[in-house]
Amino acid sequence: MVPDQVLCRAPSDPQISEHKFSSFVDQEKALPKFDQIYRQLTPGCFEGFVKSVDYGTLTLTHEAMNQGLEQQVSVNDGTVAIGFVMGAGHMYDLFKNEVFNGQVAVLPGGHEHVSYVAEKTEFVIASIAREEVPDDMLTGRTLPSEVAKPVGAWIRGLIGMAGSASEAKGLTTMLPELVMDRLSLLFGYPEARVLRNNHHDVVVLKRILEACEELPAEEMTVSRLSKHLNMSRTDLRTACQTTTGFRLDEMLTSRRLSDVYRILREGEFGQVNVTQAALDHGFTHFGRFSAAYRQMFGERPSETLRA
């Protein structure tokens, strides 16, 4: 059993932020103590939500999204994130080269993690200062869903209550200690079995992601990947589908569309050219690009640029 942890008593008024988002580019910036890049992988207007309660050494965050995403995530140095997956979804971890389907995993700061999450996924995250975390929590382990999910739901309820009229008197001051006590009990349970799928497929996915960073955006096709990696298209498609749950052809197109969306969303009207951004990312037929863009994000490229 992990020894009890006692955090310094929290201030009576934590920092509370709560926002709804219509853009994954905006939502990726909203999680405290994380650096993230999101790409939308399923079509439709994005709707997301982030609420955080920051006590200094402990930050509790509830995040929800309606679309499937690729998330490149790095927890800040000096922080350990304990993340509960409350909906469908799984995570491919570049740092450990494994696939996690457990309901909670520990993510130490300073390492990159890549997640592929399904539609209507929610996360509950406890971001804790490293010096406050027992060594037994730092193994990157995954815990059984039947043990972890009730704890995630309990923390989500605390986040929802924070700042409301129904918040119990004294709860704000005691909440960090209550959360840490509950987490320490969690890690007294045996570790869950980690899903590794086919080790070959996991390695291939890692090579695909590395190639996506190496190749020009306009060359992001299955055929180009096949030549670049000297692997068959079938092997590449199988590895992606098995490991992430997404088809490779659709994932590559969604990544390129998301990168165009980011340029338009963050660009200034009159200084960014929609056609050039599309061409730079391999979309040579503007009509088909516009239709695919609108299907993916629920708006025309020009509307994103003016937002």
Q: What is the pLDDT of residues 277-295, one digit of tens each?
A: 999 998 989 999 999 999 9
Tokens coding 76? 């800040």
Rounded CA-CA distance 88/80 in Å is: 23
pLDDT of residue 88: 67
Q: Where are the domains of the chain?
A: 15-186, 199-306
pLDDT tens-digit profile of 144-168? 677 778 888 889 988 988 877 555 5
Q: How many residues in total does the chain contain?
A: 307
In this predicted structure, what is the pLDDT of residue 4? 40
d(CA 154, CA 172): 15
Would you state the structure tokens that stand for residue 247, as one six-digit string?
């088809």
Residues facing residue 140 across a β-bridge: none
pLDDT digit string (tens) for 95-105?
666 666 656 77
Would you say 83 and 107 are in contact if contact means Cβ atoms under 8 Å apart? yes
Say which residue the tokens 């090579």 belong to. 207
pLDDT over threshold 50, residue 208: yes
Determine the pLDDT at residue 219.
Answer: 84
Fold of 15-186: Jelly Rolls (2.60.120)
11 vs 47: which has the higher pLDDT: 47
Q: What is the per-residue DSSP string for 42-101?
A: S-S---EEEEEEE-SSEEEEEEEESS-EEEEEEEPTTEEEEEEE-SS-EEEETTTTEEE-
Half-sphere exposure of 98 (CA within 13 A, CB side): 13
**The listed CATH number (3.30.70.260, 3.90.1570.10, 2.40.40.20, 1.10.10.60) that belongs to domain 199-306:** 1.10.10.60
**Residue written as tokens 């020894």?**
3
| Strand ranges across the sheet with 104-108 | 15-21, 48-54, 58-65, 121-129, 79-85, 104-108, 142-143
- pLDDT tens-digit series, residues 69-89: 999 999 999 999 988 888 766
For the packed helices 248-266 and 286-297, what is the interaxial angle rounded to 10 degrees? 90
